[in-house]
Amino acid sequence: MSGLLERIAGKLRSYREPGYYTKLDHKWTMVIDLDKCNGCEACVVACYAENNLPVVGREECEKSRAFSWLRIERYVEGEYPDVKVKFIPVMCQHCMKAPCETGCPVYATYHNQDGLNVQVYNRCVGTFTCATYCTYDVRRFNWFTYKWPKPLEAQLNPDVSVREMGVMEKCTFCIQRIRSAKDTAKDESRPVKDGDIKPACSQSCPTGAIYFGDIQDPESVVAKLAKSPRRYRLLEELNADPSVIYLKRVMGDGTSSHE
């Protein structure tokens, strides 16, 4: 009897835990080395291809409705000819304390056991709260029903659903790849290895600036890179605890980019 009560009390106590999970299965983390990024946007193209993102055309882009889940922000410093251009790829930061998650009234966005900030497309009713609360402006909205011109609909990724009009979406860290990697690992009765999973952006980056892995695994590449002195996170002062770690670019004159 007392054992049962203790179990119930333990359960109740666990509901008061911030973040709820006592231990995450994984904590997927992306490390982006800005020293290696040359702003080629191969990652953006890969993301379009992998995640069935529609190409909206020039007019819509001018209205700031471009669909890229991942964007390369360009900041130009100085006057010609003494110009410095800085790039920073920004995608969903998968915040551990994400403001968007508390905003959604219908649980369309939430945090899962892998430390991912997940968007469930077909639960979304489109209240825009998540996108408004997002401090990184990474959420994208399906303003229209987008159609793919005739032969292109055949290249859609079957592992990713094509989103309906009126639905919010965002970078998922290529969750379909994570899922299939975990599936394979399960079939082979082994844990997921470091390097099993490569999101489309990471896979396509010609300079290898984007690393992906489980930061809970101390042997993983990202865990090691995360200890780098060049490490910083975007808008860290807002206390959203993002899962994307940037490594500062060290300029020729010794100054560093951003911050």
Residues from 84 through 123 that contact another protein (CB under 8 A): 90, 95-107, 109-113, 116, 118, 120-123
What binding mask, one character per residue, do residues 56-75 give for another protein by CB under 8 A, x or -?
A: ----x--xxx-----x-xxx
**Considering the complex, what minimum distance in angstroms separates the CB of residue 224 from another protein?**
25
Q: Which residues contact 185 (CB under 8 A, 6 or more apart)?
A: 191, 192, 193, 196
Strands 109-111 and 117-119, bridge-based pairing: antiparallel
Q: How far apart are CA 176 and CA 203, in angstroms?
A: 14
Mapping DSSP to helix (H, G, I), strand (E, B) and coil, where does residue 105 land? coil
Residue 42 or 126 having the CB closest to another protein:
126
**Dihedral of CA 181/183/185/191: which sign?**
positive
Residue 241 binds to another protein (criterion: CB under 8 A): yes
Nearer to another protein (CB atom), residue 65 or residue 230 = 65
With tokens 């009713």, the residue in question is 125
The verdict on 21 binding another protein (CB under 8 A) reads: yes
Binding segment toward another protein, per CB under 8 A, in 8-16, 29-37, 197-205, 245-253 = 8-16
The site string for another protein over 34-53 (x = CB under 8 A, - otherwise) reads: --------------------
- Residue 23, judged by CB atoms within 10 A of its CB (0-12, 13-18, 19+), counts as exposed
Cis peptide before 81, with omega less than 30 degrees from 0? yes
Letters for 150-179 (x = contact with another protein by CB under 8 A, - = none) are ---------xxxx-xxxxx------xx--x
Q: Any contact of residue 131 with another protein (CB under 8 A)? A: yes
Q: Quote the least distance from Cβ 78 to another protein, whole Å.
A: 16
Tell me the C-alpha distance between 26 and 23, whole Å: 9
